Structure 1
Amino acid sequence: MFTIEHDFDATVITLVDEAPPGTRPLNEDVVILSFDDRIVIEQMEPGGDGVSRIVLTIEQLNELRAALNLPEGNYRLERG
């Protein structure tokens, strides 16, 4: 399940981990904040002691998107 919310300066996507009862432990929700110039990915740490945060530039996000569909190797995207 996921939700999408549009805030003043960001779009917020929340990914909720779902699994049939008893099949595996559930992970904390993943929150993705999309700004004009960056993407921030957040998830509560196990035990609730803090939040892990990853910040990607839009270029890094584009490279990640491409990497998910390519075989093993080294690549450089042409910027245009």
Structure 2
Amino acid sequence: MFTIEHEFDATVVTLVDEGEAPLEEDVTVIAFEDCVTVEQYDPVTDRVMKITMSFAQLRDLDAALDLPEGVYRLRLEDDEDEEEGEA
């Protein structure tokens, strides 16, 4: 399950883990104008852990989820993403 909220300066997507235990803590993805942050509460440290990615890194992550093992560089060509690389 997930929720989407549009705030003044960001879009916030919260991913809620469902199913059988053990369940993971909610993941919050916050898209700002120039970056994306991913946050998740860590019960071991009792802190919210946060990473910040550029939109280029997010684009690369999206592509990486559908590619086999290897080294890749995405390039924009005629407004289309193309993958290049070798496994």
Q: Same fold (TM over 0.5)?
A: yes
Could you tell me which amino acid in structure 1 is paired with residue 54 of structure 2? T
CA distance in structure 1 between the aligned counterparts of 2:45 and 2:64, rounded to whole angstroms: 31
What amino acid maps onto 1:55 in structure 2?
Answer: T
State yes or no: 1:52 paired with 2:49. yes
User: Mind listing any 5+ residue stretches in structure 1 that lack a counterpart?
Assistant: none
TM-score by length of 1: 0.88
- Normalised to the residue count of structure 2, the TM-score between the two structures is 0.82
Q: Give the aligned partner of residue 14 of structure 1.
A: 14
Q: Map Cα deviations across residues 48-79 of structure 1 (whole Å, 9 max, x no partner).
A: 61101011100000100110111111001114
Shift of 1:41: 0.3
Percent identity of equivalent pairs: 55
Structure 2, unaligned runs of 5 or more = 78-87
Structure richer in helix, relative to its length: 1
TM-superposed deviation, 1:25: 1.2
Secondary structure class of the residue paired with 1:24: coil
Higher relative contact order (CA 8 A, sep 6+): 1
How many residue pairs match? The answer is 77
The AA in structure 1 aligned to 2:65 is: L
Query: Larger strand proportion, structure 1 or 2?
Result: 2
Matched residues in 2 for 1:16 and 1:47: separation? 19
* Residues 34-73 of structure 1: pairs in structure 2 closer than 5 A: 34-47=31-44, 49-73=46-70
State the distance in 2 between where 1:3 and 1:74 align. Answer: 33
